[in-house]
Amino acid sequence: MGRSFATIIGALGLAALSAAATAQEVAPPLAEGSTIEVQGDRALNRDEILRGQRALYEAGLAYRTAPRFHDPVCVAVVGLAGRQNDIVAERIRANIREAGVELAGAGCKPNALVSANRKPKAVIDALRRRDPQLFNRASEEAIRRQLDAGSPAIAWGETILRANDGIIFGERSSSSSNPAFVVPVFFGALPSRHRAPLYQAKVNALVFFDLDRLEDVHVNQLADYATLHLLGDPRDPADHAGAGVPSILSLFADGPAKAPPAMTSLDRAYLRGLYALRSNEWGWRLSASVLAAYREPEALPGAATSPASPS
């Protein structure tokens, strides 16, 4: 897995880089009686759930497994002002627990990093020079696509293949000067109609926010948006208009005033459905798992006020 985030943060000085960029505070909690326009959560029917999940989250998974963490998750947040690093990190941890994902213990080495700074491209470039093994062909393409699109948030991660017997497969960049050059690993496995012989495991996930693009963003929105990218596999870009359902993923597309104030029931059902799957279940089972998670409001936070189950 290479150098841990803990070492990388210390070596690169990401926290120092972010603070030196004159850290800008994320908006404080809204006062009572605020009159912003909010796209609120609402009850969704079966078709809306399935259409929304497929439009917002990566769905090309029919005969591969859904990528996610299989090891305990350790969160680190750097670059925000004052106690906001701790506030965002704790909310992300709460989201992780609610999704049924195991958290690493005290003193763990971070594998889920959120960084806020005013020059994300420069910090990513420095990270690439320092530890090219955190990058591969897929992550380089994702980073370039998001930077070219002017996204306020750059998200990527490293996913490897694991076999049920514990053998690890994958590819990692072997040259910081030529990140497209990777060392491929080939394998052979017998196909199965019921279970995949190999499954995709996230070993790290990163979300870098541009501080200059976070005006009016609430800390809860920031944490929930980051959670979905750390734990899940949102589409890049997501089709918010085509989805037709509320999601915190619309935070930057719609703006913080019109986006939901937190993860919606569908967002939470997606994470619970994703992590309810067995490690080697085919990806085509994801939709049914998300639907089942949505239909069980008692399994979601705020069950007493959650939308009614779909028909």
Q: Dump pLDDT digits (tens) for 9-27.
A: 554 444 444 444 434 444 4
The predicted structure's pLDDT at residue 54: 87
Strands (E), 164-197: 168-169
Average pLDDT over residues 22-46: 54
User: In this model, does residue 83 exceed pLDDT 80?
Assistant: yes
Residue in this structure with the two tokens 């005969």, named with its chain if needed: 63
Write down the H helix ranges in 13-70.
14-20, 46-56
Q: Are 74 and 108 in contact (CB under 8 A)?
A: yes
Write down the H helix ranges in 102-183.
120-130, 137-148
Stretch among 3-17, 82-96, 142-156 having the lowest mean pLDDT: 3-17
Rg of the chain on CA atoms, in Å: 19
pLDDT tens string 212-271 = 999 999 999 999 999 999 999 998 878 888 889 999 999 999 999 999 999 999 999 999
Q: From the CB of residue 172, how many other CB atoms can be counted at a distance below 10 Å?
A: 17
- SS3 state at 153: strand
Which two structure tokens, joined as six digits, stand for 306? 């959650």
Which two structure tokens, joined as six digits, stand for 187? 């394998």
Within 13 Å of residue 105, how many CA atoms lie on the same side as its CB? 0
pLDDT tens string 137-150 = 888 999 999 999 99
Which two structure tokens, joined as six digits, stand for 60? 């090309």
Stretch among 14-18, 75-79, 162-166, 201-205 having the lowest mean pLDDT: 14-18
Which two structure tokens, joined as six digits, stand for 71? 């090891």
Task: Name the pTM for this structure.
Answer: 0.81
Round to whole Å and give the CA distance between 200 and 56.
20
Residue in this structure with the two tokens 């420069």, named with its chain if needed: 122
The predicted structure's pLDDT at residue 62: 59
Which two structure tokens, joined as six digits, stand for 176? 């910081």
